[in-house]
Amino acid sequence: MFFGVALGLIFLIAFSQSPEKPLQSSSPQCFSEFKAEIRPYAEQLLNRIKEDLKNKVPEDYIKEVLCRKELSFSPEIMLKSLTWREVNLPYHQFFEKERLKRAKSFIKENIELLNALEQHFQVDKEVIVSIFLIETDLGRKTGRHRVLNTFFSLALTGEEDLFKIYLQNQPEIDFSNETVKKRWEKRSNWAYKELLYFLEIAYKNQWDPFEIKGSIFGAFGYPQFVPKSYVVYGYDWDGDGKVDLYSISDALASIANYLQKEGYKIASERAEKKRIIMKYNISEPYAETVLKIADTLKNLSLTQNNELRGN
């Protein structure tokens, strides 16, 4: 009897003094496709999302979505985000004759809509079309990455211990550099907020969240909006009760609404227009390209009109 009690006490003491165990997932049915070291962090993120979307999105819906097999974790998105250089993008491609010809034809085919948008929002129709051309090649290329997975991955790599696993063999990313670390922190916090917006939008619109695809950094639709931009700037031009960024009228109206809300005025000086366009995409080469294409399209229209008049 004494021996049994003593042995029990020894085991009790041994277990109570054992090192703290790694975090373990409490929902084995979720994240089953993930590696073992990822699951506990994914579980933590799931619980955080449920708490932050309380009274906005049902908990059962959140769990159902985030426990689906289609959910994936791609740490390389954050790695690419930290080395991304907007200035290196080949903006010259948008001045190719074939693209400009298609943009000109698009204006001609949609002139009634574009004139109405220009009048309503006081945004140059050529600027609207220029942005549409640059963002998705007039709707041809809207992206192939699942938006939910993108924001989930960026948010999850906000866990420093987890992210450091994937920093190995990445000499171009100096995580000891305070600027790099702040950028990583800012990016993951931003992505988490966008993830919340996206889940709320998908729930309200009854979307299959895994069917919405976009850029590698989560922009989707013809205007390439992130979820918060959809909420703030999305515009239901056709009046069907919903904002559809894959509808020409809603998409173009949303681009115009974005610029108008940020202060764009058709009568403004070029420098002021450039400043506003840089709020759409924080890139000087981008804004310059938008304005140059818009000028080119205006000049093409003037030339065509003069030819029709016989001038």
Q: Are 117 and 125 in contact (CB under 8 A)?
A: yes
273: which 2 tokens? 């227009």
Residues in a beta bridge with 220: 214, 225
83: which 2 tokens? 């080395």
Question: What is the structure's pLDDT at 29?
Answer: 77
Stretch 104-125: mean pLDDT: 98
Question: What is the structure's pLDDT at 310?
Answer: 56
Question: What is the structure's pLDDT at 86?
Answer: 74
302: which 2 tokens? 């003037």
Q: What are phi and psi of 220, to 5 degrees?
A: -140, 170
143 HSE (CA, 13 A, CB side): 24
Q: Are 198 and 227 in contact (CB under 8 A)?
A: yes
* CA–CA dist 285, 87 (Å, integer): 7
Whether residue 7 is predicted with pLDDT greater than 60 in this model: the reply is: no
Question: What is the structure's pLDDT at 124?
Answer: 98
Distances (CA, A) of 54 to 31, 50, 85, 290: 22, 6, 37, 41
pTM of the model: 0.87
Q: Are 106 and 138 in contact (CB under 8 A)?
A: yes
Give residue 292's pLDDT band: very low, low, confident or very high (50, 70, 90): very high
**pLDDT tens profile 195-240:** 999 999 999 999 999 999 999 999 999 999 999 999 999 999 999 9
Instruction: Give the rounded percent of residues in the chain with a pLDDT score beyond 90.
Output: 81
Question: What is the structure's pLDDT at 156?
Answer: 98
Terminal Cα distance for the chain, rounded: 114
Give residue 87's pLDDT band: very low, low, confident or very high (50, 70, 90): low
Residue entry with tokens 């204006």? 107
Whether residue 45 is predicted with pLDDT greater than 80 in this model: the reply is: yes
**pLDDT tens profile 240-289:** 999 999 999 999 999 999 999 999 999 999 999 999 999 999 999 999 99
Q: Which residue has the higher pLDDT, 65 or 7?
A: 65
The secondary element (H helix, E strand) that includes residue 79 is: helix 76-83
Give residue 13's pLDDT band: very low, low, confident or very high (50, 70, 90): very low
Question: Average model confidence (pLDDT) for the chain?
Answer: 89
Instruction: Give the rounded percent of residues in the chain with a pLDDT score beyond 70.
Output: 87
Q: Are 115 and 182 in contact (CB under 8 A)?
A: no
**pLDDT tens profile 159-198:** 999 999 999 888 889 999 999 999 999 999 999 999 999 9
| CB atoms near residue 242 (< 10 Å) | 13
Give residue 12's pLDDT band: very low, low, confident or very high (50, 70, 90): very low
